Chain A
Amino acid sequence: MSGTHAHSAAFVRDAMLPQEPPPATSVGALGWLRQNLFSSWLNAILTVLSLALIGYVLAAILPWIFQSSWSAGSLAECRDQIKAAYGSEASGACWAVIRERWLQLIFGFYPSELYWRPILGFALALAGMAPVLFTGLPRKMLYLSLAAPFVVPWLLWGGTVWLPVSVALGFVLGYAAQRIVAPLAGGLLGAVVAGLLPVLWWFLLAGPFATLLHQIGPLGIEPVSSRNFGGFMLSITIGLTAIALSLPIGVLLALGRQSDLFILRAICVGFIELIRGVPLITLLFVASLLLNYFMPPGTNFDIILRVIIMVTLFASAYMAEVIRGGLAALPKGQYEAADALGLDYWKAQRLVVMPQALKISIPGIVSTFIGVFKDTTLVSIIGLLDPVGFSNSIRADVNWNGIVWELYGFIALMFFVFCFSMSRYSMYLERKLRTEHR
């Protein structure tokens, strides 16, 4: 075709023009700037404003951070050192307090020669969670998940090794009862026996059994009372325990809320709404002031345990809502398919519904965990020495009285690191789950 016209119109160009380079304003750094920062008048103004804000904030904070003292032994000494180094008008951070107290801010009063125990414990807890959270890991690690709930508390609190063993035995008993009774007396009775037997075991026999075993074979590590827990270790302990315990409770509450049984549903809804309707601080007041009144006269268990109980209840209610969201997101066909297969309620839940609902809920569960972890700072208001509470105690030391920003800054930074990495993880999960669903 082009051949017929080749010479009929002289003005038709028969050679390609060489490609011009794009204009300087739309490539390279300049082009990027134009496109992303100064694409319009409004954008240009916003950019300039943002730059001014960043400059202002950095100009205020950076000198304070870097004109600092790391080696002083008291606030007064700090002030002198900074004045000597940077001139008499300078004021800077006194990081020496962090250098002296950072171990306390992290471990509280935990005996320093035993620091390896909480570190190992939390590492184990992480390793136990990993196969649940990252699906790519070898399935054998699930044994670790099974062991972690028994080993981690034992590492933290110490004491005889037989206590966690005898508690674990309760589950074995329950499982055995289910296996033996169910074929003989029917599924429901089997479930009831399997539920009751471990409870009876834990409340009546587990303690004496552990003591007995301990007398036979005294294996144990030095016990550490929970009063010695403090700083971030306390926050992590409360947060981890609460979330680990609230998961099963939350599942049960969510199922109860969806159930057809009116009274069960009413109890579950009442509980969830009650807990979600009040601020955590009032629940902590209950833990510190009232929980002992609710127990039989004479019982007295320590404040950290009481706080863990209340935070667990708090987290359970939120967890129940997260899981309910997961249950609601499941297509109805899944329930119907499970029914069509002839599965009974619990089998349907265990084999069909829950695995899918929990998977959908994981981002929600992680963000609940972040929330609970941040909320553990409230325990400082009832006198527990979490990082915020501990910073007040440090300030009560004559040497460090009057020091504010350094401690709060350090605590805020630590929380940021923890929570930010968790929220990144949750985003990663969300992305992964989304691609799997498509």
Chain B
Amino acid sequence: MKKSVILGALTVAACAAGAAGAATLDDVKARGKLNCGTNTGLVGFAAPDANGDWQGFDVAVCRAVAAAVLGDSSAVEFVPTTGKTRFTALASGEIDMLVRNTTWTFSRDVDLKFTFVGVNYYDGQGFMVPKALGVSSAKELDGATVCIQTGTTTELNLADFFRVNNITYEPVPIETNEQAQQQYLAGACDVYTTDASGLAATRATFEDPTAHVVLPEIISKEPLGPLVRHGDDEWADIVRWTLNALIAAEEYGVTSANIDELAAAPTTNPEINRLLGTEGTLGEMLGLPADWAVKAIKAGGNYGELFEKYIGQNTPIGLARGLNAQWTDGGLMYAPPFR
């Protein structure tokens, strides 16, 4: 009987850990840690390295927010979530924000009561096939066996695509990318479908990447972005503008290399000054110190730097900027003015 004390101890500890209130910012500050929901592991977007530090493109957004709010990019507790548990974890207050390559859809925004604060990666669902199959368009896939990663919008898009084109297929639902990859490589499925970024990342690690092609059809829009709970607009603003600050920093040429110099004294560009807090009171309006954006950018670099570091052309994943280029370069990344 004496051993039930563990439960008692843990309950006390858990209650002491605190309850989630409405004001997420105050909670985060009081805790001194940001609880950020991420993937349990997705190449390029979130993975623990050999030292146990999480690395990746999604993870970098968490770190930037932690740096902006708490001044310390390592003050983050990463909470690995699955496709199933992610929304509950956010809704119940277990995590303060979710950055887990989550597609911004109407029903998630409205029905599930979340606020998507922006888009950190524009993606779309694509198909990968072995070159030897001689397929050049997804419409030629009649009767093919298709590996799908479940738990996302993927299976619905796929069902729609094949129904609209009036062709049949054999779905093979798979829980993890690694198993999908194994089945695809062994020829247990003809086609692998998931977000195009995931396809590129998977293809990059093949023994012979050139033997596989990603088909031209992108059958869905997958704007992936961070999200927070409905109803706490101050917190949503902080996450939204931290992301915007990273994007704007790239646009204005603020990098982790030159940011100390630029933030030391007001520059000739008022937009940069307002962003970096040497002019105006934007930080104060958010309830953060004036140099919030400086810290956020210094956490890992601006948007472009993060992209190049984790998923860009020089990484094994080798994604091109494409839609994710700045609007000035023909992409969709467009931060509203800092004014």
In the complex, A396 Cα to B49 Cα: how many Å? 9
Q: Check if A157 sits within 8 Å of B13, measured CB to CB.
A: yes
Tell me how far the C-beta of B214 lies from the nearest C-beta in chain A, rounded to whole angstroms: 17
Q: Check if A167 sits within 8 Å of B80, measured CB to CB.
A: no
Q: Check if A396 sits within 8 Å of B46, measured CB to CB.
A: yes
Query: Contacts A245-B3, A401-B205; is A385 near B40 (CB within 8 Å)?
Result: yes
Interface centre among B42, B92, B202, B315 (most CB of A within 10 A): B92
Query: Which residues of A from 191 to 219 have beta carbons under 8 Å from B?
Result: 202-203, 206-207, 210
In the complex, A206 Cα to B78 Cα: how many Å? 30
**Dominant secondary structure at the B interface:** mixed
Q: Which residues of A contact B30 (CB under 8 A)?
A: none
Query: Contacts A104-B48, A167-B5, A241-B6; is A299 near B15 (CB within 8 Å)?
Result: yes
Q: Check if B3 sits within 8 Å of A247, measured CB to CB.
A: yes
Find B10's partner among A153, A171, A288, A299 (CB 8 Å cutoff).
Answer: A153
Q: Check if B205 sits within 8 Å of A402, measured CB to CB.
A: yes
Name the residue on B nearest A247 (C-beta): B3
Find B85's partner among A153, A159, A210, A288 (CB 8 Å cutoff).
Answer: A288
Query: Contacts A75-B205, A104-B48, A393-B48; is A245 near B41 (CB within 8 Å)?
Result: no
A147-177 near B? 1/0 per residue, CB < 8 Å: 0011001100101000110011011000000
In the complex, A203 Cα to B48 Cα: how many Å? 37
Find B88's partner among A247, A288, A389 (CB 8 Å cutoff).
Answer: A288
In the complex, A313 Cα to B160 Cα: how many Å? 42
Name the residue on B nearest A285 (C-beta): B84
In the complex, A404 Cα to B77 Cα: how many Å? 28
Name the residue on B nearest A385 (C-beta): B80
Q: Which residues of A contact B225 (CB under 8 A)?
A: none
Tell me how far the C-beta of B30 lies from the nearest C-beta in chain A, rounded to whole angstroms: 14
In the complex, A401 Cα to B316 Cα: how many Å? 11
Q: Is B317 in contact with chain A by the CB < 8 A criterion?
A: yes
Q: Is B110 in contact with chain A by the CB < 8 A criterion?
A: no
A369-409 near B? 1/0 per residue, CB < 8 Å: 00000000000011111000100111111100110100000
Q: Check if B47 sits within 8 Å of A397, measured CB to CB.
A: yes
Tell me how far the C-beta of B97 lies from the nearest C-beta in chain A, rounded to whole angstroms: 15
Q: Is B7 in contact with chain A by the CB < 8 A criterion?
A: yes
Q: Is A330 in contact with chain B by the CB < 8 A criterion?
A: no
Q: Which residues of B contact A293 (CB under 8 A)?
A: 92
Q: Which residues of B contact A248 (CB under 8 A)?
A: 1-4
Q: Is A35 in contact with chain B by the CB < 8 A criterion?
A: no
Q: Is B52 in contact with chain A by the CB < 8 A criterion?
A: yes
Q: Is A292 in contact with chain B by the CB < 8 A criterion?
A: yes
Q: Is B149 in contact with chain A by the CB < 8 A criterion?
A: no
Find B6's partner among A153, A207, A382, A392 (CB 8 Å cutoff).
Answer: A153
Q: Check if A398 sits within 8 Å of B48, measured CB to CB.
A: no
Query: Which residues of A from 225 to 245 have beta carbons under 8 Å from B?
Result: 225, 227, 241, 244-245
Q: Is B145 in contact with chain A by the CB < 8 A criterion?
A: no
Q: Check if B94 sits within 8 Å of A292, measured CB to CB.
A: yes
B187-217 near A? 1/0 per residue, CB < 8 Å: 0000000000000011011110000000000
Q: Is A101 in contact with chain B by the CB < 8 A criterion?
A: yes
Q: Check if B77 sits within 8 Å of A225, measured CB to CB.
A: yes
Known: A164-B5, A397-B43. 12 other contacts (CB 8 A): A170-B8, A227-B77, A249-B4, A251-B1, A301-B15, A301-B17, A303-B89, A392-B176, A392-B178, A396-B40, A398-B205, A402-B181
Residues on B facing A (Cβ under 8 Å): 1-21, 39-44, 46-50, 52, 77-82, 84-85, 88-89, 92-94, 175-178, 181-182, 201-202, 204-207, 315-317
Residues on A facing B (Cβ under 8 Å): 75, 79, 100-101, 104, 108-109, 112, 146, 149-150, 153-154, 157, 159, 163-164, 167-168, 170-171, 202-203, 206-207, 210, 225, 227, 241, 244-245, 247-249, 251, 285, 288-289, 292-293, 298-303, 305, 308-309, 312, 381-385, 389, 392-398, 401-402, 404
Pairs A-B, 10 closest by C-beta atoms? A396-B41, A301-B14, A396-B47, A393-B41, A401-B205, A383-B82, A292-B92, A298-B19, A202-B8, A244-B3
